[in-house]
Protein backbone atom coordinates (compact mmCIF):
# COMPACT_ATOMS: atom_id res chain seq x y z
CA UNK A 1 0.00 0.00 0.00
CA UNK A 2 2.92 2.34 0.76
CA UNK A 3 4.33 1.79 -2.74
CA UNK A 4 0.96 2.44 -4.36
CA UNK A 5 0.52 5.65 -2.37
CA UNK A 6 3.99 6.80 -3.43
CA UNK A 7 3.31 6.12 -7.11
CA UNK A 8 -0.05 7.85 -7.04
CA UNK A 9 1.49 10.75 -5.18
CA UNK A 10 4.22 11.17 -7.79
CA UNK A 11 1.71 11.05 -10.64
CA UNK A 12 -0.53 13.58 -8.88
CA UNK A 13 2.44 15.86 -8.24
CA UNK A 14 3.31 15.79 -11.92
CA UNK A 15 -0.25 16.77 -12.80
CA UNK A 16 -0.31 19.59 -10.24
CA UNK A 17 3.00 20.94 -11.59
CA UNK A 18 1.47 21.23 -15.02
CA UNK A 19 3.49 18.52 -16.75
CA UNK A 20 0.52 16.26 -17.43
CA UNK A 21 -0.86 16.08 -20.94
CA UNK A 22 -4.20 17.84 -21.42
CA UNK A 23 -6.52 14.86 -21.45
CA UNK A 24 -10.02 16.18 -21.50
CA UNK A 25 -11.96 17.80 -24.28
CA UNK A 26 -15.49 19.13 -24.41
CA UNK A 27 -16.79 16.26 -26.54
CA UNK A 28 -14.46 13.25 -26.27
CA UNK A 29 -14.94 10.37 -28.66
CA UNK A 30 -16.70 7.46 -26.96
CA UNK A 31 -16.77 4.73 -29.56
CA UNK A 32 -14.40 2.55 -31.54
CA UNK A 33 -15.32 -0.52 -33.60
CA UNK A 34 -13.65 -3.51 -35.18
CA UNK A 35 -12.93 -3.75 -38.90
CA UNK A 36 -16.45 -4.93 -39.78
CA UNK A 37 -18.41 -2.86 -37.32
CA UNK A 38 -19.70 -6.02 -35.63
CA UNK A 39 -18.16 -5.18 -32.25
CA UNK A 40 -18.11 -1.72 -30.68
CA UNK A 41 -16.27 -0.45 -27.60
CA UNK A 42 -17.53 2.44 -25.46
CA UNK A 43 -14.57 4.03 -23.66
CA UNK A 44 -14.65 7.19 -21.59
CA UNK A 45 -12.54 8.85 -24.28
CA UNK A 46 -10.01 8.05 -27.02
CA UNK A 47 -6.59 9.68 -27.07
CA UNK A 48 -4.04 9.93 -29.89
CA UNK A 49 -0.70 10.78 -28.23
CA UNK A 50 2.19 11.99 -30.36
CA UNK A 51 5.05 11.20 -27.98
CA UNK A 52 6.12 8.85 -25.22
CA UNK A 53 5.71 11.71 -22.73
CA UNK A 54 2.07 12.06 -23.70
CA UNK A 55 1.52 8.31 -23.29
CA UNK A 56 3.07 8.52 -19.82
CA UNK A 57 0.78 11.33 -18.80
CA UNK A 58 -2.32 9.52 -20.05
CA UNK A 59 -1.39 6.40 -18.07
CA UNK A 60 -0.55 8.40 -14.93
CA UNK A 61 -3.85 10.25 -15.11
CA UNK A 62 -5.72 6.96 -15.51
CA UNK A 63 -3.87 5.50 -12.51
CA UNK A 64 -4.85 8.47 -10.35
CA UNK A 65 -8.50 8.14 -11.35
CA UNK A 66 -8.67 4.35 -11.09
CA UNK A 67 -9.27 3.88 -14.83
CA UNK A 68 -8.11 1.05 -17.08
CA UNK A 69 -6.06 1.66 -20.24
CA UNK A 70 -5.86 -0.28 -23.51
CA UNK A 71 -4.28 0.41 -26.90
CA UNK A 72 -6.23 -0.27 -30.10
CA UNK A 73 -7.00 1.39 -33.40
CA UNK A 74 -10.36 2.95 -34.12
CA UNK A 75 -10.86 0.19 -36.68
CA UNK A 76 -9.20 -2.62 -34.77
CA UNK A 77 -8.45 -6.00 -36.37
CA UNK A 78 -10.22 -8.27 -33.91
CA UNK A 79 -13.60 -9.98 -33.96
CA UNK A 80 -14.15 -9.44 -30.24
CA UNK A 81 -13.10 -7.04 -27.48
CA UNK A 82 -9.42 -7.94 -27.18
CA UNK A 83 -8.39 -4.33 -27.91
CA UNK A 84 -11.13 -2.66 -25.83
CA UNK A 85 -10.32 -0.98 -22.53
CA UNK A 86 -13.90 -1.50 -21.31
CA UNK A 87 -16.90 0.73 -20.89
CA UNK A 88 -16.05 4.19 -19.54
CA UNK A 89 -12.31 3.40 -19.52
CA UNK A 90 -9.35 4.98 -21.36
CA UNK A 91 -8.56 4.05 -24.95
CA UNK A 92 -5.29 4.95 -26.67
CA UNK A 93 -4.42 4.77 -30.35
CA UNK A 94 -0.88 5.17 -31.67
CA UNK A 95 -1.87 6.46 -35.09
CA UNK A 96 0.39 9.51 -34.57
CA UNK A 97 3.35 7.39 -33.39
CA UNK A 98 4.11 5.75 -36.71
CA UNK A 99 7.68 6.68 -37.58
CA UNK A 100 11.06 5.03 -37.94
CA UNK A 101 13.18 5.97 -34.93
CA UNK A 102 16.52 4.47 -35.94
CA UNK A 103 17.88 2.33 -38.77
CA UNK A 104 21.24 0.58 -38.41
CA UNK A 105 22.50 -1.18 -41.52
CA UNK A 106 25.60 -2.44 -39.72
CA UNK A 107 23.71 -4.33 -37.03
CA UNK A 108 20.78 -5.03 -39.39
CA UNK A 109 18.19 -3.61 -37.00
CA UNK A 110 15.46 -1.02 -37.20
CA UNK A 111 13.62 0.70 -34.36
CA UNK A 112 10.09 1.86 -35.11
CA UNK A 113 7.23 3.44 -33.23
CA UNK A 114 4.53 0.88 -32.48
CA UNK A 115 1.86 2.65 -34.52
CA UNK A 116 3.75 2.14 -37.79
CA UNK A 117 1.95 0.02 -40.39
CA UNK A 118 3.89 -3.07 -41.45
CA UNK A 119 3.52 -2.31 -45.16
CA UNK A 120 5.05 1.15 -44.64
CA UNK A 121 7.98 -0.44 -42.84
CA UNK A 122 8.41 -2.95 -45.68
CA UNK A 123 8.49 -0.15 -48.26
CA UNK A 124 11.26 1.61 -46.34
CA UNK A 125 13.31 -1.55 -45.80
CA UNK A 126 13.10 -2.66 -49.44
CA UNK A 127 14.58 0.68 -50.49
CA UNK A 128 17.49 0.09 -48.11
CA UNK A 129 18.09 -3.47 -49.32
CA UNK A 130 16.64 -5.26 -46.28
CA UNK A 131 13.60 -7.35 -45.39
CA UNK A 132 11.75 -9.04 -42.52
CA UNK A 133 10.99 -12.75 -42.63
CA UNK A 134 7.59 -14.30 -43.40
CA UNK A 135 5.63 -13.00 -40.41
CA UNK A 136 2.15 -12.21 -41.76
CA UNK A 137 0.08 -12.27 -44.93
CA UNK A 138 -2.01 -9.11 -44.59
CA UNK A 139 0.51 -6.28 -44.37
CA UNK A 140 -1.61 -3.39 -43.08
CA UNK A 141 -1.41 -4.22 -39.36
CA UNK A 142 0.50 -1.95 -36.99
CA UNK A 143 3.70 -3.26 -35.45
CA UNK A 144 2.23 -2.85 -31.96
CA UNK A 145 -0.92 -4.73 -32.93
CA UNK A 146 1.13 -7.58 -34.40
CA UNK A 147 3.03 -7.90 -31.14
CA UNK A 148 -0.13 -7.66 -29.07
CA UNK A 149 -1.83 -10.62 -30.74
CA UNK A 150 1.09 -12.68 -32.09
CA UNK A 151 0.41 -12.10 -35.78
CA UNK A 152 2.10 -14.78 -37.87
CA UNK A 153 2.79 -16.03 -41.37
CA UNK A 154 4.08 -19.42 -42.53
CA UNK A 155 7.67 -20.69 -42.62
CA UNK A 156 9.68 -23.50 -41.10
CA UNK A 157 12.79 -22.38 -42.98
CA UNK A 158 13.42 -19.36 -40.76
CA UNK A 159 13.77 -19.08 -36.96
CA UNK A 160 10.14 -17.99 -36.60
CA UNK A 161 7.00 -17.04 -38.50
CA UNK A 162 6.05 -14.32 -35.97
CA UNK A 163 7.23 -10.72 -35.96
CA UNK A 164 7.38 -11.03 -32.17
CA UNK A 165 10.39 -13.34 -32.35
CA UNK A 166 12.46 -10.85 -34.36
CA UNK A 167 12.20 -8.20 -31.66
CA UNK A 168 15.52 -7.54 -29.91
CA UNK A 169 14.24 -4.82 -27.58
CA UNK A 170 10.93 -3.26 -26.59
CA UNK A 171 10.25 0.13 -25.06
CA UNK A 172 7.01 0.34 -23.08
CA UNK A 173 5.16 2.65 -20.75
CA UNK A 174 4.32 0.44 -17.79
CA UNK A 175 1.38 0.47 -15.41
CA UNK A 176 2.94 3.19 -13.28
CA UNK A 177 3.49 5.49 -16.26
CA UNK A 178 7.22 4.82 -16.31
CA UNK A 179 9.30 4.09 -19.43
CA UNK A 180 10.83 0.60 -19.39
CA UNK A 181 13.23 -0.97 -21.89
CA UNK A 182 12.63 -4.72 -22.00
CA UNK A 183 15.22 -7.36 -22.75
CA UNK A 184 15.83 -10.93 -21.59
CA UNK A 185 12.98 -12.70 -19.77
CA UNK A 186 10.74 -9.63 -19.64
CA UNK A 187 11.13 -9.30 -23.39
CA UNK A 188 10.07 -12.92 -23.89
CA UNK A 189 7.00 -12.21 -21.77
CA UNK A 190 6.16 -9.07 -23.76
CA UNK A 191 6.77 -10.40 -27.28
CA UNK A 192 3.10 -11.42 -27.41
CA UNK A 193 1.59 -9.22 -24.72
CA UNK A 194 -2.19 -8.89 -25.35
CA UNK A 195 -1.80 -5.23 -24.41
CA UNK A 196 -1.90 -6.10 -20.69
CA UNK A 197 1.74 -5.41 -19.74
CA UNK A 198 1.85 -1.77 -20.80
CA UNK A 199 1.76 0.44 -23.87
CA UNK A 200 4.38 -0.73 -26.36
CA UNK A 201 5.73 2.51 -27.83
CA UNK A 202 8.85 1.34 -29.72
CA UNK A 203 10.17 -1.97 -31.05
CA UNK A 204 13.63 -2.84 -32.35
CA UNK A 205 13.53 -5.56 -35.02
CA UNK A 206 16.18 -7.84 -36.51
CA UNK A 207 16.48 -7.65 -40.31
CA UNK A 208 17.93 -9.74 -43.12
CA UNK A 209 19.15 -8.85 -46.59
CA UNK A 210 16.39 -8.23 -49.12
CA UNK A 211 15.60 -11.18 -51.36
CA UNK A 212 13.18 -12.31 -54.03
CA UNK A 213 10.92 -15.36 -54.08
CA UNK A 214 9.18 -17.40 -56.72
CA UNK A 215 5.62 -18.48 -55.98
CA UNK A 216 4.01 -21.68 -57.23
CA UNK A 217 0.23 -21.98 -56.98
CA UNK A 218 -1.22 -25.44 -57.58
CA UNK A 219 -4.66 -27.00 -57.29
CA UNK A 220 -5.16 -30.68 -56.43
CA UNK A 221 -8.48 -32.35 -57.21
CA UNK A 222 -7.76 -35.37 -55.00
CA UNK A 223 -7.08 -34.84 -51.30
CA UNK A 224 -6.90 -38.52 -50.34
CA UNK A 225 -3.17 -38.35 -49.55
CA UNK A 226 -3.12 -34.98 -47.79
CA UNK A 227 -2.29 -36.52 -44.40
CA UNK A 228 0.75 -38.21 -45.95
CA UNK A 229 2.19 -35.19 -47.76
CA UNK A 230 1.20 -32.17 -45.64
CA UNK A 231 4.29 -32.17 -43.42
CA UNK A 232 6.63 -32.74 -46.36
CA UNK A 233 5.08 -29.73 -48.10
CA UNK A 234 5.61 -27.64 -44.97
CA UNK A 235 9.22 -28.72 -44.40
CA UNK A 236 10.44 -28.70 -48.00
CA UNK A 237 9.59 -25.10 -48.87
CA UNK A 238 10.63 -21.73 -47.51
CA UNK A 239 6.95 -20.89 -47.00
CA UNK A 240 3.83 -22.98 -47.57
CA UNK A 241 0.14 -22.09 -47.36
CA UNK A 242 -2.43 -24.86 -47.92
CA UNK A 243 -6.16 -24.37 -48.44
CA UNK A 244 -8.04 -27.67 -47.93
CA UNK A 245 -11.62 -28.05 -49.16
CA UNK A 246 -12.65 -31.38 -47.57
CA UNK A 247 -16.27 -31.10 -48.73
CA UNK A 248 -14.95 -31.04 -52.30
CA UNK A 249 -12.08 -33.50 -51.82
CA UNK A 250 -9.59 -30.87 -53.08
CA UNK A 251 -6.80 -28.64 -51.83
CA UNK A 252 -4.47 -25.93 -53.12
CA UNK A 253 -0.94 -24.93 -52.23
CA UNK A 254 0.87 -21.60 -52.46
CA UNK A 255 4.60 -22.22 -52.09
CA UNK A 256 7.35 -19.61 -51.87
CA UNK A 257 11.06 -20.27 -52.40
CA UNK A 258 13.94 -17.79 -52.62
CA UNK A 259 15.63 -16.92 -55.91
CA UNK A 260 18.67 -14.67 -56.52
CA UNK A 261 17.79 -11.03 -56.06
CA UNK A 262 18.91 -10.21 -59.60
CA UNK A 263 16.23 -12.55 -61.01
CA UNK A 264 13.82 -10.63 -63.21
CA UNK A 265 10.33 -10.14 -61.83
CA UNK A 266 8.26 -7.42 -60.15
CA UNK A 267 5.17 -9.41 -59.16
CA UNK A 268 3.01 -8.73 -56.11
CA UNK A 269 0.38 -10.66 -54.14
CA UNK A 270 -3.02 -9.58 -55.48
CA UNK A 271 -5.30 -11.97 -53.62
CA UNK A 272 -7.24 -9.05 -52.12
CA UNK A 273 -7.67 -7.26 -55.46
CA UNK A 274 -11.31 -8.19 -55.92
CA UNK A 275 -13.29 -6.36 -58.58
CA UNK A 276 -16.66 -4.82 -57.80
CA UNK A 277 -18.28 -7.45 -60.04
CA UNK A 278 -16.53 -10.31 -58.20
CA UNK A 279 -17.52 -8.88 -54.84
CA UNK A 280 -21.13 -8.48 -56.00
CA UNK A 281 -21.19 -12.09 -57.22
CA UNK A 282 -19.77 -13.45 -53.97
CA UNK A 283 -22.18 -11.33 -51.95
CA UNK A 284 -25.16 -12.75 -53.83
CA UNK A 285 -23.81 -16.28 -53.56
CA UNK A 286 -23.06 -16.05 -49.84
CA UNK A 287 -26.48 -14.60 -49.06
CA UNK A 288 -28.25 -17.23 -51.14
CA UNK A 289 -26.21 -20.00 -49.52
CA UNK A 290 -27.55 -18.91 -46.14
CA UNK A 291 -31.16 -18.34 -47.08
CA UNK A 292 -31.89 -21.44 -49.16
CA UNK A 293 -32.09 -24.94 -47.64
CA UNK A 294 -29.38 -27.48 -48.25
CA UNK A 295 -25.66 -26.93 -48.83
CA UNK A 296 -25.52 -26.90 -52.63
CA UNK A 297 -24.91 -23.17 -52.94
CA UNK A 298 -22.36 -23.25 -50.16
CA UNK A 299 -20.44 -25.91 -52.05
CA UNK A 300 -20.76 -23.87 -55.24
CA UNK A 301 -19.13 -20.96 -53.43
CA UNK A 302 -16.39 -23.34 -52.26
CA UNK A 303 -15.78 -24.44 -55.86
CA UNK A 304 -15.45 -20.79 -56.89
CA UNK A 305 -12.95 -20.15 -54.12
CA UNK A 306 -11.00 -23.33 -54.93
CA UNK A 307 -10.72 -22.23 -58.55
CA UNK A 308 -9.54 -18.80 -57.43
CA UNK A 309 -6.80 -20.31 -55.25
CA UNK A 310 -5.80 -23.09 -57.69
CA UNK A 311 -4.25 -20.61 -60.14
CA UNK A 312 -1.87 -17.71 -59.75
CA UNK A 313 -3.35 -14.66 -58.03
CA UNK A 314 -0.18 -12.59 -58.50
CA UNK A 315 0.09 -9.55 -60.76
CA UNK A 316 2.91 -7.59 -62.33
CA UNK A 317 3.40 -4.34 -60.44
CA UNK A 318 4.10 -2.44 -63.70
CA UNK A 319 1.40 -3.75 -66.05
CA UNK A 320 -1.14 -4.95 -63.49
CA UNK A 321 -1.60 -8.18 -65.47
CA UNK A 322 -1.71 -11.63 -63.88
CA UNK A 323 1.57 -13.54 -63.85
CA UNK A 324 1.59 -17.34 -64.16
CA UNK A 325 5.12 -17.82 -62.81
CA UNK A 326 5.42 -14.90 -60.39
CA UNK A 327 8.74 -13.66 -59.04
CA UNK A 328 9.16 -10.57 -56.91
CA UNK A 329 10.55 -9.06 -53.71
CA UNK A 330 9.72 -11.24 -50.72
CA UNK A 331 7.56 -8.70 -48.91
CA UNK A 332 5.48 -7.80 -51.98
CA UNK A 333 4.95 -11.48 -52.80
CA UNK A 334 4.22 -12.78 -49.32
CA UNK A 335 2.35 -9.84 -47.80
CA UNK A 336 -0.76 -8.54 -49.50
CA UNK A 337 -2.63 -5.28 -49.15
CA UNK A 338 -6.00 -4.01 -50.31
CA UNK A 339 -5.95 -1.37 -53.05
CA UNK A 340 -8.08 0.75 -50.77
CA UNK A 341 -7.31 -0.04 -47.09
CA UNK A 342 -10.85 0.95 -46.10
CA UNK A 343 -12.54 -1.20 -48.74
CA UNK A 344 -11.19 -4.71 -48.33
CA UNK A 345 -13.74 -7.37 -49.22
CA UNK A 346 -13.96 -8.58 -45.61
CA UNK A 347 -14.93 -5.05 -44.58
CA UNK A 348 -18.07 -5.24 -46.68
CA UNK A 349 -19.00 -8.91 -46.66
CA UNK A 350 -19.63 -10.31 -43.16
CA UNK A 351 -16.85 -12.85 -42.67
CA UNK A 352 -15.57 -14.45 -39.46
CA UNK A 353 -12.48 -16.54 -38.79
CA UNK A 354 -11.62 -19.09 -36.13
CA UNK A 355 -7.95 -20.06 -35.94
CA UNK A 356 -6.14 -22.43 -33.61
CA UNK A 357 -2.58 -23.78 -33.34
CA UNK A 358 -1.67 -27.42 -32.68
CA UNK A 359 1.56 -29.40 -32.39
CA UNK A 360 2.71 -29.82 -35.99
CA UNK A 361 3.36 -33.55 -35.63
CA UNK A 362 -0.31 -34.11 -34.76
CA UNK A 363 -1.61 -32.42 -37.91
CA UNK A 364 -2.00 -35.64 -39.98
CA UNK A 365 -4.18 -37.18 -37.25
CA UNK A 366 -6.14 -33.94 -36.96
CA UNK A 367 -6.84 -34.02 -40.71
CA UNK A 368 -8.08 -37.59 -40.41
CA UNK A 369 -10.43 -36.62 -37.57
CA UNK A 370 -11.79 -33.69 -39.56
CA UNK A 371 -12.49 -36.04 -42.48
CA UNK A 372 -14.65 -38.13 -40.19
CA UNK A 373 -16.51 -35.08 -38.87
CA UNK A 374 -17.22 -33.90 -42.41
CA UNK A 375 -18.28 -37.42 -43.45
CA UNK A 376 -20.75 -37.41 -40.56
CA UNK A 377 -22.22 -34.13 -41.84
CA UNK A 378 -22.66 -34.75 -45.60
CA UNK A 379 -22.36 -31.88 -48.08
CA UNK A 380 -20.47 -29.66 -45.66
CA UNK A 381 -18.31 -27.23 -47.59
CA UNK A 382 -16.04 -24.41 -46.46
CA UNK A 383 -16.78 -21.63 -48.93
CA UNK A 384 -13.96 -19.14 -48.34
CA UNK A 385 -10.39 -20.42 -48.01
CA UNK A 386 -11.40 -23.92 -47.01
CA UNK A 387 -9.46 -25.03 -43.95
CA UNK A 388 -6.26 -23.03 -44.11
CA UNK A 389 -2.89 -24.39 -42.93
CA UNK A 390 0.25 -22.40 -42.10
CA UNK A 391 3.36 -23.41 -40.17
CA UNK A 392 5.96 -22.07 -37.75
CA UNK A 393 8.82 -23.09 -35.47
CA UNK A 394 8.68 -23.03 -31.69
CA UNK A 395 8.71 -19.52 -30.22
CA UNK A 396 10.49 -18.16 -27.14
CA UNK A 397 7.46 -15.98 -26.42
CA UNK A 398 5.45 -16.94 -23.35
CA UNK A 399 2.01 -16.52 -24.95
CA UNK A 400 2.66 -16.90 -28.68
CA UNK A 401 0.50 -19.53 -30.34
CA UNK A 402 3.69 -21.47 -31.14
CA UNK A 403 5.25 -21.00 -27.70
CA UNK A 404 7.59 -23.92 -27.04
CA UNK A 405 6.48 -26.17 -29.91
CA UNK A 406 6.69 -26.40 -33.70
CA UNK A 407 3.20 -25.56 -34.82
CA UNK A 408 0.54 -25.98 -37.46
CA UNK A 409 -1.89 -23.06 -37.60
CA UNK A 410 -5.39 -24.07 -38.68
CA UNK A 411 -7.95 -21.47 -39.77
CA UNK A 412 -11.59 -21.84 -40.76
CA UNK A 413 -13.28 -18.82 -42.30
CA UNK A 414 -17.03 -18.68 -42.67
CA UNK A 415 -19.63 -16.24 -43.85
CA UNK A 416 -22.12 -14.65 -41.51
CA UNK A 417 -25.52 -13.35 -42.51
CA UNK A 418 -27.21 -10.11 -41.62
CA UNK A 419 -24.05 -8.88 -39.93
CA UNK A 420 -23.82 -11.82 -37.58
CA UNK A 421 -27.42 -11.71 -36.34
CA UNK A 422 -27.93 -15.38 -37.26
CA UNK A 423 -25.72 -18.41 -37.19
CA UNK A 424 -23.66 -19.28 -40.29
CA UNK A 425 -24.61 -22.24 -42.46
CA UNK A 426 -23.19 -25.49 -40.99
CA UNK A 427 -21.95 -23.55 -37.95
CA UNK A 428 -22.37 -26.66 -35.80
CA UNK A 429 -19.80 -28.49 -37.94
CA UNK A 430 -17.26 -25.74 -37.33
CA UNK A 431 -17.98 -25.93 -33.60
CA UNK A 432 -17.48 -29.70 -33.50
CA UNK A 433 -14.09 -29.26 -35.21
CA UNK A 434 -13.26 -26.40 -32.86
CA UNK A 435 -14.06 -28.30 -29.68
CA UNK A 436 -12.20 -31.37 -30.93
CA UNK A 437 -9.16 -29.18 -31.59
CA UNK A 438 -9.29 -27.71 -28.09
CA UNK A 439 -9.98 -30.86 -26.12
CA UNK A 440 -8.26 -33.62 -28.08
CA UNK A 441 -5.37 -31.72 -29.69
CA UNK A 442 -4.62 -29.15 -26.96
CA UNK A 443 -5.12 -26.31 -29.43
CA UNK A 444 -4.31 -22.69 -28.65
CA UNK A 445 -6.74 -20.12 -30.07
CA UNK A 446 -5.55 -17.07 -31.96
CA UNK A 447 -5.77 -14.14 -29.56
CA UNK A 448 -7.66 -11.81 -31.89
CA UNK A 449 -9.60 -13.78 -34.48
CA UNK A 450 -11.88 -15.92 -32.36
CA UNK A 451 -15.11 -15.97 -30.40
CA UNK A 452 -15.67 -15.69 -26.65
CA UNK A 453 -16.34 -19.40 -26.20
CA UNK A 454 -13.09 -20.71 -27.66
CA UNK A 455 -10.88 -19.28 -24.90
CA UNK A 456 -11.41 -22.13 -22.44
CA UNK A 457 -8.74 -23.21 -19.93
CA UNK A 458 -6.19 -20.83 -21.40
CA UNK A 459 -3.66 -20.90 -18.52
CA UNK A 460 -3.30 -24.67 -18.94
CA UNK A 461 -2.37 -24.30 -22.62
CA UNK A 462 0.83 -22.30 -22.07
CA UNK A 463 3.66 -23.73 -19.93
CA UNK A 464 5.01 -20.22 -19.26
CA UNK A 465 1.67 -18.75 -18.12
CA UNK A 466 2.86 -18.36 -14.49
CA UNK A 467 5.93 -16.48 -15.71
CA UNK A 468 3.72 -14.18 -17.78
CA UNK A 469 1.69 -13.41 -14.66
CA UNK A 470 4.92 -12.61 -12.81
CA UNK A 471 5.88 -10.20 -15.58
CA UNK A 472 2.45 -8.57 -15.40
CA UNK A 473 2.79 -8.18 -11.63
CA UNK A 474 6.13 -6.43 -12.13
CA UNK A 475 5.16 -4.21 -15.06
CA UNK A 476 1.53 -3.53 -14.13
CA UNK A 477 1.24 -3.94 -10.34
CA UNK A 478 -2.06 -2.04 -10.11
CA UNK A 479 -3.77 -3.76 -13.07
CA UNK A 480 -4.03 -0.57 -15.09
CA UNK A 481 -3.86 -2.67 -18.27
CA UNK A 482 -6.62 -5.15 -17.42
CA UNK A 483 -9.68 -5.34 -19.66
CA UNK A 484 -12.73 -7.65 -19.94
CA UNK A 485 -10.93 -9.81 -22.54
CA UNK A 486 -7.99 -10.45 -20.20
CA UNK A 487 -10.35 -11.17 -17.30
CA UNK A 488 -12.00 -13.89 -19.39
CA UNK A 489 -8.92 -15.55 -20.84
CA UNK A 490 -7.10 -15.50 -17.49
CA UNK A 491 -10.09 -17.15 -15.81
CA UNK A 492 -10.88 -14.23 -13.53
CA UNK A 493 -14.29 -14.03 -15.23
CA UNK A 494 -15.41 -17.64 -15.84
CA UNK A 495 -16.89 -18.50 -19.22
CA UNK A 496 -19.83 -20.03 -17.34
CA UNK A 497 -21.01 -16.45 -16.80
CA UNK A 498 -21.88 -16.37 -20.52
CA UNK A 499 -24.16 -19.43 -20.37
CA UNK A 500 -27.35 -17.53 -21.15
CA UNK A 501 -30.25 -18.12 -23.57
CA UNK A 502 -29.07 -17.94 -27.18
CA UNK A 503 -25.38 -17.69 -26.23
CA UNK A 504 -24.32 -20.29 -28.82
CA UNK A 505 -25.34 -18.27 -31.87
CA UNK A 506 -23.55 -15.23 -30.43
CA UNK A 507 -20.34 -17.26 -30.15
CA UNK A 508 -20.34 -16.78 -26.37
CA UNK A 509 -20.71 -20.42 -25.35
CA UNK A 510 -20.68 -24.06 -26.35
CA UNK A 511 -24.18 -25.16 -25.50
CA UNK A 512 -24.90 -27.06 -22.30
CA UNK A 513 -28.68 -27.11 -22.68
CA UNK A 514 -31.28 -26.44 -25.34
CA UNK A 515 -31.91 -22.89 -24.12
CA UNK A 516 -28.42 -21.94 -25.24
CA UNK A 517 -29.26 -22.80 -28.85
CA UNK A 518 -31.01 -20.86 -31.56
CA UNK A 519 -34.67 -21.51 -32.29
CA UNK A 520 -35.37 -24.84 -33.98
CA UNK A 521 -32.25 -26.59 -32.69
CA UNK A 522 -31.29 -28.57 -29.61
CA UNK A 523 -28.02 -29.11 -27.79
CA UNK A 524 -26.56 -32.45 -28.86
CA UNK A 525 -23.30 -34.38 -28.78
CA UNK A 526 -20.98 -34.15 -31.78
CA UNK A 527 -21.49 -36.84 -34.39
CA UNK A 528 -17.81 -37.86 -34.48
CA UNK A 529 -16.21 -36.07 -31.55
CA UNK A 530 -18.86 -36.92 -29.01
CA UNK A 531 -17.36 -34.74 -26.27
CA UNK A 532 -18.40 -31.71 -28.31
CA UNK A 533 -21.74 -30.03 -27.68
CA UNK A 534 -23.37 -28.54 -30.76
CA UNK A 535 -26.75 -27.02 -31.61
CA UNK A 536 -28.45 -29.05 -34.36
CA UNK A 537 -31.92 -29.66 -35.71
Per-residue pLDDT of the chain (537 residues; tens, 9 = 90+): 334 444 444 444 444 333 334 454 446 778 888 776 777 889 999 999 999 999 999 999 999 999 999 998 887 777 788 999 999 999 999 999 999 999 999 999 999 999 999 999 999 999 999 999 899 998 889 999 999 999 999 999 999 999 999 999 999 999 999 999 999 999 999 999 999 999 999 999 999 999 999 999 999 999 999 999 999 999 999 999 999 999 999 999 999 999 999 999 999 999 888 777 777 777 777 677 666 656 678 888 889 889 999 999 999 999 999 999 999 999 999 998 876 666 676 666 667 789 999 999 999 999 999 999 999 998 888 888 899 999 999 999 999 999 999 999 999 987 765 544 556 678 899 999 999 999 999 999 999 888 899 999 999 999 999 999 999 999 999 999 999 999 999 999 999 999 999 999 888 999 999 999 988 899 999 999 999 999 998
Question: Cα(380)–Cα(299) distance, rounded to whole angstroms?
Answer: 7
Give the pLDDT score at 346.
67
pLDDT at residue 12, rounded to an integer? 44
Pairwise CA distance, residues 396 & 403, whole Å: 6
According to DSSP, residue 362 is labeled G
Distances (CA, A) of 307 to 311, 459, 480: 7, 41, 49
Q: What is the pLDDT of residue 19?
A: 38
Cβ contact 87:42 at 8 Å: yes
Quote helix, strand, coil % in the chain, to nearest 5.
Answer: 30, 25, 45
Task: Read off the pTM.
Answer: 0.92
Distance CA 190, CA 455 (A): 20
Strand order in the sheet with 69-71: 45-47, 90-92, 69-71
Q: What angle do CA 286, 292, 294 make, to 5 degrees?
A: 100
Q: Which of 398, 517, 401 is nearest to 467 (CA)?
A: 398
The span from the CA of 110 to the CA of 101, in Å, is 8
Write b or e for each residue in 180-197: b if 16 or more Cβ atoms lie within 10 A of its Cβ, otherwise e: bebeeebbbbbbbbbbbb
Angle between helix 363-376 and helix 226-235 axes, rounded to 10 deg: 140
Q: Positive or negative CA dihedral for 141, 200, 33, 355?
A: positive
> Taking the CA atoms of the chain, what radius of gyration do you get in angstroms?
23
Backbone torsions φ then ψ of 124, nearest 5 degrees = -65, -50
Give the pLDDT confidence score for residue 298 in this predicted structure.
81
Torsion of CA 121, 122, 126, 132, to 10 degrees: 110
pLDDT at 4: 45
| DSSP letter, residue 214 | E
* pLDDT tens per residue, range 397-421: 999 999 999 999 999 987 765 544 5
Q: What's the residue count for the chain?
A: 537
Which run of H or E residues covers position 412? strand 407-415
Tell me how far apart the alpha carbons of residues 186 and 467 are, in angstroms, rounded to a whole number.
Answer: 9
Distances (CA, A) of 122 to 6, 128, 133, 208: 44, 10, 11, 12
Q: In the CATH hierarchy, which fold is given to the domain comprising 100-209?
A: 3.30.465
- CA-closest candidate to residue 305, choices 211, 382, 392, 380: 382
Nearest Cα residue to 154 out of 413, 332, 410, 387:
410
Which residues, listed in sequence order, are joined to residue 69 by a DSSP beta bridge?
90
- Cα dihedral across residues 352, 358, 364, 365: positive or negative: negative
CA atoms of 378 and 463, how far apart (whole Å): 38
Question: What confidence score (pLDDT) does residue 5 get?
Answer: 44
Domain layout of the chain by residue ranges:
100-209
DSSP 340: S
Collect all residues with Cβ–Cβ distance below 8 Å to 283 and sequence separation of at least 6.
Answer: 348, 349
Amino acid sequence: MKIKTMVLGNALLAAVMGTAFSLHSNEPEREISNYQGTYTCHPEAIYDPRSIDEVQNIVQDALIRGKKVMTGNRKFASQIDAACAGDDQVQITLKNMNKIVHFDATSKTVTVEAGMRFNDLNDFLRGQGYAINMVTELAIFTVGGMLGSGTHGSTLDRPSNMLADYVTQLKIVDGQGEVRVLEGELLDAARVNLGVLGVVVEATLKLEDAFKVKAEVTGYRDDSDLEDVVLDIAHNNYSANIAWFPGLGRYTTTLYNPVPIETEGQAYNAQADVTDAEEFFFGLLFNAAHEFPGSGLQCLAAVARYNGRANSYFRDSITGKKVDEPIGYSDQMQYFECKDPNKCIWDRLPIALQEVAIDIERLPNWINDVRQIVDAHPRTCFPLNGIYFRFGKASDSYLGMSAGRDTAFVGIEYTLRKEGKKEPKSYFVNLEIEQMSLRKYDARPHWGKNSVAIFEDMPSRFPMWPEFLQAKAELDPFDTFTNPFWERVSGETPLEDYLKPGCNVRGECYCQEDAHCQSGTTCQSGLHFTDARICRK
